């Protein structure tokens, strides 16, 4: 079996083994409907070759099941025409599309819902205490899943995935730490799975499309369950056509591990190949990662890599390197308020307005001065428009990425530079080792002051690079960091960083003043460098429009 062999889930044939994992996009409309922004985002991944695409978690209960703003919802038959448009667009590329159905349980946001939040057991969920569900509540929720399943079936979805992972309602029933019920829905494994087994039985009685469940193989929380229990749960759920393993409940790294963790980190903890068709996810970034997953599973899901490069399958098929997700957990994880974006792919979430022009090609050369991320992105962008870039750089290509000293981050971020150089090399473009002065200026827009050679320091900042510098400085000097500074880092990255920093003697102390106070609301990072690179090319085209057409 390889990633391009045909696979089956239940009675459904899927053209390859590559699955786009369900990911919150917040691209739907405030009323929960799909729209062109949302469809274009998914369609780009279908065009990129994914055999199966699973939508983001989609709420079934409009009264107390919503977990994020602009979340996709499936709760009314008036939605079927637009959903039909969505499924039709995926089928155009011979991709299959499943909907992931969720009730957010205790993780639902009260502000987005009109009815009081509930869970299997009332307990403290990170500061919120939901109501305990009555038997009537359980039956009600099941009815809402059935209604959504019916809408999915009638709208042309090829399959249904129940979201039983990541601390949402169904996982709250599965998790021994969260389910303390003493009725028929708690106590034993059979009882904890009852709400799910009743639903799978009913849904499969009515619909002949594949039905699966997403599960956390393990929870990282101190009172969480381990992989043996996660495997047992998957194998004990009846009437499902597949299990989809992710990981995590609340504690970091939850499901999306940052660059401090190995690739295939969930695969490493799966005890063996499960006895049902299995999809497995977890930091798959390249062909080697994907092939390894198939040793224990039937399908490979990529989450963030599908955001970084929608053409991941296509590139694997043709032996090209995909644009790597650097597992920074920056722009894709601001989902409390924002739509999905990606630090290394500035078109993600904006597919409808992509500046890559697909049809009309320009003619001519463009000189690019500088081969940092800004210049490298400018070069690839110019190529996509038909122009031949000539790149000048007197130093090592990669610009400020080369200054990263922290080894985990350096390895992952350098892969992005390698991606650019490979892509250029493949098209016969090399970087000229000299200082360019007459092309478009691709030197960095901002360079923050270098603090690495300072002695003892106290730091108050939101600039990412200073957190790495602090690790370096602390090897010889005392370093104090304002704990509030760390709010810029995504939760799992933050927690890992704190452990690493404390091991090196860094102290997190709130004090009246710090000798480094550097904040930038519009921080210049990889994504801004890319945007700036494309903008420089666009300005050049505007100025030289006649010669280039
Ligand atoms: C932006 C984002 C949104 C996510 N939303 C969902 C979701 O709606 N449902 C779900 O089951 N998992 C969700 N996840 C978890 C991913 O599906 C996946 O399990 C996780 O990111 C690990 O895979 P990766 O390392 O390939 O990204 C989300 C992850 C990301 C990065
Ligand atoms: S924002 Fe970072 S972690 Fe998220 S998909 Fe993009 S590169 Fe990966």
Q: What is the 3-state secondary structure (H, E, C) of 284-327?
A: CCCHHHHHHHCCCCCEEEECHHHHHCCCHHHHHHCCCCCCCCCC
pLDDT at 356 over 70: no
CA of 302 from ligand 1 middle (Å) equals 9
Write out pLDDT tens, residues 443-464. 999 999 999 888 999 999 999 9
The verdict on domain 365-446+529-548 having CATH code 3.30.590.10 is: no
d(CA 388, CA 382): 7
User: What's residue 358's pLDDT?
Assistant: 58
Q: Share the mean pLDDT of the chain.
A: 96
CA of 20 from ligand 1 middle (Å) equals 10
- CATH numeric code, 7-353: 3.20.20.70
**Nearest atom of ligand 1 to the alpha carbon of 163:** 11
Q: For a substitution probing ligand 1, which of 24, 217, 300, 338 has the most ligand atoms within 8 Å of its CB?
A: 24
d(CA 148, CA 142): 10
d(CA 477, CA 475): 6
Mean pLDDT of 312-330: 95
User: What's residue 460's pLDDT?
Assistant: 97
3-state secondary structure at position 96 = strand
Which alpha helices (H) appear in 402-525, and where do they start and end? 407-426, 464-473, 491-503
User: What's residue 542's pLDDT?
Assistant: 83
CB 96 within 8 A of CB 51: yes
User: What's residue 1's pLDDT?
Assistant: 86
CB 268 within 8 A of CB 277: no
CA angle 66, 67, 69 (to 5 degrees): 90
Which residue CA neighbors atom 28 of ligand 1 most closely? 23
Q: For a substitution probing ligand 1, which of 23, 327, 329 has the most ligand atoms within 8 Å of its CB?
A: 23
- In this prediction, residue 359 has a pLDDT band, given cuts at 50, 70 and 90, of low
Residue with the two structure tokens 């155009």: 92
Write out pLDDT tens, residues 246-277. 999 999 988 999 999 999 999 999 999 999 99
Q: What are phi and psi of 485, to 5 degrees?
A: -55, -35
Asked if this assembly's ipTM is beyond 0.95, the reply is yes
Write out pLDDT tens, residues 479-534. 999 999 999 999 999 999 999 999 999 999 999 999 999 999 999 999 999 999 99
User: What's residue 436's pLDDT?
Assistant: 85
CA of 246 from ligand 1 middle (Å) equals 8
Q: Distances from the Cα of 105 to the Cαs of 309, 372, 441, in angstroms?
A: 32, 45, 52
pLDDT at 336 over 70: yes
- Give the closest ligand to the alpha carbon of residue 21: 1
Write out pLDDT tens, residues 391-417. 999 999 999 999 998 999 999 999 999
Quickly count: other Cβ atoms within 10 Å of residue 404's Cβ.
Answer: 19
d(CA 280, CA 264): 9
User: What's residue 118's pLDDT?
Assistant: 98
Ligand 2 lined by 280 (C-beta under 6 Å)? no
pLDDT at 440 over 90: yes
Residues framing ligand 1 (Cβ under 6 A): 21-24, 56-57, 100, 163, 165-166, 214, 246, 255-256, 281-284, 302-305, 332, 340
Write out pLDDT tens, residues 7-55. 999 999 999 999 999 999 999 999 999 999 999 999 999 999 999 999 9
Which letter does DSSP use for residue 413 in this model?
A: H
d(CA 16, CA 46): 12
CB 165 within 8 A of CB 171: yes
**Nearest atom of ligand 1 to the alpha carbon of 325:** 27
CA of 56 from ligand 1 middle (Å) equals 8
Mean pLDDT of 334-359: 88
Q: Which residues are catalytic?
A: 168
Ligand 2 lined by 332 (C-beta under 6 Å)? yes
Q: For a substitution probing ligand 1, which of 255, 282, 344 has the most ligand atoms within 8 Å of its CB?
A: 255
pLDDT at 56 over 90: yes
pLDDT at 319 over 70: yes
Return the closest-CA partner of residue 458 out of 509, 400, 391, 399: 509
CA of 528 from ligand 2 middle (Å) equals 14
Percent of the chain with pLDDT over 90: 93
CB 67 within 8 A of CB 59: yes
Write out pLDDT tens, residues 123-164. 998 888 999 999 999 999 999 999 999 999 999 999 999 999
3-state secondary structure at position 544 = coil
User: What's residue 29's pLDDT?
Assistant: 98
């Amino acid at each position: 079996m390889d990633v391009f062999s045909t696979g089956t889930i239940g009675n459904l044939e899927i053209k390859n083994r590559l699955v786009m994992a369900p990911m919150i996009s917040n691209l739907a409309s405030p009323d929960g409907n799909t729209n062109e922004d949302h469809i274009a985002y998914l369609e780009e991944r279908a065009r990129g070759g994914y055999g199966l695409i699973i939508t983001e978690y989609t709420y079934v209960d409009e009264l107390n099941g919503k977990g994020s703003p602009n979340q996709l919802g499936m709760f009314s038959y008036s939605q079927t025409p637009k959903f039909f448009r969505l499924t039709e667009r995926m089928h155009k590329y011979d991709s299959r599309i499943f909907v992931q159905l969720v009730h957010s349980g205790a993780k639902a946001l009260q502000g987005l819902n009109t009815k009081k939040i509930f869970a299997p057991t009332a307990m403290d969920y990170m500061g919120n205490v939901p109501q305990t569900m009555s038997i009537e509540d359980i039956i009600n929720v099941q009815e809402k899943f059935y209604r959504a399943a019916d809408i999915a079936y009638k709208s042309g979805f090829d399959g249904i995935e129940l979201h039983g992972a990541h601390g949402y309602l169904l996982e709250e029933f599965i998790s021994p730490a969260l389910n303390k019920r003493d009725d028929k829905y708690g106590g034993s494994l059979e009882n904890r799975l009852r709400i799910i087994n009743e639903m799978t039985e009913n849904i499969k009685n009515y619909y002949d499309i594949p039905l699966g469940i997403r599960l956390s193989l393990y929870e990282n929380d101190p009172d969480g369950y381990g992989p043996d229990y996660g495997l047992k749960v998957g194998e004990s759920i009846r009437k499902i056509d597949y299990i989809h393993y992710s990981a995590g409940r609340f504690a970091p790294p939850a499901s999306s591990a940052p660059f401090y963790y190995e690739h295939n980190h969930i695969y490493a903890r799966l005890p063996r190949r499960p006895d049902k068709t299995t999809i497995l996810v977890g930091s798959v970034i390249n062909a080697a990662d994907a092939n390894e997953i198939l040793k224990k599973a039937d399908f490979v899901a990529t989450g963030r890599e599908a955001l970084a490069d929608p053409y991941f399958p296509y590139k694997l098929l043709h032996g090209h390197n995909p644009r790597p997700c650097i597992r920074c957990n920056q722009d894709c994880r601001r989902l409390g308020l924002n739509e999905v974006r990606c630090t290394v792919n500035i078109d993600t979430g904006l597919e409808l307005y992509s500046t890559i022009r697909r049809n009309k090609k320009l003619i001519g050369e463009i000189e690019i001065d500088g081969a940092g991320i800004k210049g490298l992105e400018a070069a690839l962008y110019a190529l996509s428009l038909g122009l031949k870039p000539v790149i000048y750089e007197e130093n090592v290509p990669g610009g400020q990425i080369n200054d990263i000293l922290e080894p985990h981050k350096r390895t992952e971020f350098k892969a992005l530079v390698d991606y650019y150089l490979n892509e250029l090399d493949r098209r016969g473009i090399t970087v000229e080792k000299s200082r360019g002065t007459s092309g478009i200026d691709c030197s960095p827009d901002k360079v923050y002051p270098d603090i690495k050679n300072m002695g003892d320091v106290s730091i108050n900042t939101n600039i990412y690079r200073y957190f790495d510098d602090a690790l370096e400085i602390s090897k010889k000097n005392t370093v104090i960091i304002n704990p509030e500074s760390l709010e810029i880092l995504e939760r799992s990255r933050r927690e890992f960083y704190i452990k690493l920093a404390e091991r090196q003697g860094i102290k997190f102390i709130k004090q009246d003043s710090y000798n480094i106070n550097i904040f930038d609301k519009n921080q210049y990072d990889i994504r801004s460098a890319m945007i700036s690179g494309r903008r420089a090319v666009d300005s050049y085209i505007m100025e030289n429009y006649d010669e280039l057409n």
